[in-house]
Amino acid sequence: MAYERTELPRAQIEAQEAVAHRIAARFAAEGRRPLALVDTYGCQQNESDSERIRGYLAEMGCGFTDDEFAADIIVVNTCAVREHAEQRVLGNVGALNHTKKAKPGQIIALCGCMVQQPHMAERVKRSYPIVNLVFGPHELWRFPELLERVLNERRRVFAVAGSEGTVTEGIPRRRDGQVKAWLSVMYGCNNFCTYCVVPYVRGRERSRRPEEILAEARELVAAGYRDITLLGQNVNSYGKDLGSGTDFAELLYRLNDIPGDWVLRFMTSHPKDATEKLFRAMAECEHCAHHLHLPVQAGSDRVLRAMNRGYTAAEYLEKVALARQYMPDLVLTTDIIVGFPGETAEEFEETLRLVETVGYDSMFTFLYSPRVGTVAAGLPDPRPKADKQRSFERLVALATDISSQRHAAYVGRTLEALAESYDASADWPLTARTRNGRLVHCKGGAALVGQFVPVRITGSTSWSLFGETV
Ligand code: SAH
Ligand code: SF4
């Protein structure tokens, strides 16, 4: 694929920050401090993007609220991966009619993957007149300029042109937490799995330079963050576009050199690009969690081929075995799609068998959802919905069973876990995560948040563990 990696000059982001400051001055001159609400749907990359939108909003002098009626600016950061996510967004945007009526000056913006699809941008234009501003993921970097246009011109602004995407550095960021942080290492996807909309809305794979990533990670550790998750649609293709020789495994080694008590996670790994070198790096880097999110999607080779996944079930199982050789304590999670067009009842049984063979610690299961413009949306799909639903329920039951068993095996052990948050009103007030990524609800005090503490596991469910700090 001929694609030239482009990095946006820093001066462009500085120009956007200048616009943000001009907006702040204007609000100050009007004697007001507008309140903003950013509502996020979908994946961690969207959560990370929302932190950048909040960063810009803070530079515009905005405060923040959770109350839609109090908000002067509402930004809805949308997802397009399944129809369900889109319906939720559209339902909630429809409900904003009430807030806008109560507060006619309210500015409503939609951004993210859903509106990057031309048919959706068109639908918002036609059917949701309350929406003032629409911008896709490629235009996020110029949010201040777009918002200023809405303020100045008092007309609707749509910035959703298609693009292969750029790498943007230096956008201000207001992080959600103080213990856990997202760190994007690359954007976009080149894989074109036949069911998936991501490559159409997020552009081509492009990596951030390792120096930028290392500098951000060092800053995070110095600021007290203890849990850093590297983000990318397929982190295993990190660096291929850089031509500098740094691949993902090498990036892990370089990050691992940052001293301190902190844990390094990443997602998502595409099985076709997961290598022995990666498993070795995970095993050798002491900061690196032994957790691999390795979406298999299906257990039938025919379906995997139709999905354009680039591996067979046997190849997948070989990689899992190899990863477990390097990391006997590996936590393995996955994503599975039930009801891909043409998947037969027998082919679905192959998924169940694969799931049993692997024994995942936890699984994210999805019913196939046709996406406009993808190859799979044009395939014959004869299996009745009710059949697919029954298969889906069987898979969920199996997944719950396996996770419950795997979690039960932790009971009685003492593990180190990072305390992430505290809620005094909860029976198990402390939420913690083991180094390898299992959620633990704990008894323990608020002062432990941000620390690694030994936790004796006393109970478990299919989703989490329970324990006491010792
Ligand atoms: N880049 C990541 C995740 C992408 S989306 C990866 O490749 O693993 C997250 C998950 O949503 C996918 O792993 C897949 O299981 C699911 N998904 C994507 N498109 C879907 C669709 N059209 N219908 C149902 N599930 C889908
Ligand atoms: Fe979608 Fe496949 Fe890319 Fe993941 S790897 S984002 S599933 S196209």
- At residue 335, the pLDDT reads 98
CA of residue 81 to ligand 1 center, whole Å: 7
> 309 CB under 6 A from ligand 1?
no
Ligand 2 atom closest to Cα of 234?
Answer: 5
CATH fold for domain 414-469? OB fold (Dihydrolipoamide Acetyltransferase, E2P) (2.40.50)
Reply yes or no on whether the pLDDT at 3 is more than 70. no
**Which ligand 2 atom is at minimum distance from the Cα of 268?**
4
Question: From ligand 1's centre to the CA of 45, what distance in Å?
Answer: 13
Atom of ligand 2 nearest to the CA of 196: 1
The CATH class given to the 10-159 domain equals alpha beta
Q: Over 90: is that where the pLDDT of 72 sits?
A: yes
pLDDT, tens only, 141-166: 999 999 999 999 989 999 999 899 99
Ligand 1, atom 12, lies closest to the CA of 335
Q: Tell me what pLDDT residue 218 has.
A: 98
Is the distance from the beta carbon of residue 267 to the nearest atom of ligand 2 less than 6 Å? Answer: no
pLDDT attached to residue 1: 47
- The rounded Å distance from CA 308 to ligand 1 centre is 13
The pLDDT of 32-50, averaged and rounded, is: 97
- Topology classification of domain 177-289: Transcription Regulator spoIIAA (3.30.750)
Nearest ligand (C-alpha, residue 191)? 2
The band of 357, judged by pLDDT with boundaries at 50, 70 and 90, is very high
- 10-159 and 414-469: same fold? no
What lies within 8 Å, CB to CB, of 45 at 6+ separation is 182, 184, 187, 202, 231, 233
Q: pLDDT tens, 370-393?
A: 999 999 999 999 999 999 999 999
Q: Which atom of ligand 2 sits closest to the CA of residue 297?
A: 7
- Average pLDDT of every residue of the chain: 96
Region 285-292 average pLDDT: 98
State if residue 297 touches ligand 2 by the CB under 6 angstroms criterion.
no
Closest approach atom of ligand 1 to CA 364: 15
| pTM score of the predicted model | 0.96
Q: Is 65 in the pocket of ligand 1 (CB under 6 A)?
A: no
- The reported pLDDT for the residue numbered 243 is 85
Confidence of residue 402 (pLDDT cuts 50, 70, 90): very high
- Average the pLDDT over 226-254 and give the result: 95
CATH class assigned to 292-408:
alpha beta
Residue whose CA lies nearest to ligand 1 atom number 14:
335
Q: Name the pLDDT band for 2 (thresholds 50, 70, 90).
A: low
Domain boundaries along the sequence of the chain: 10-159, 177-289, 292-408, 414-469
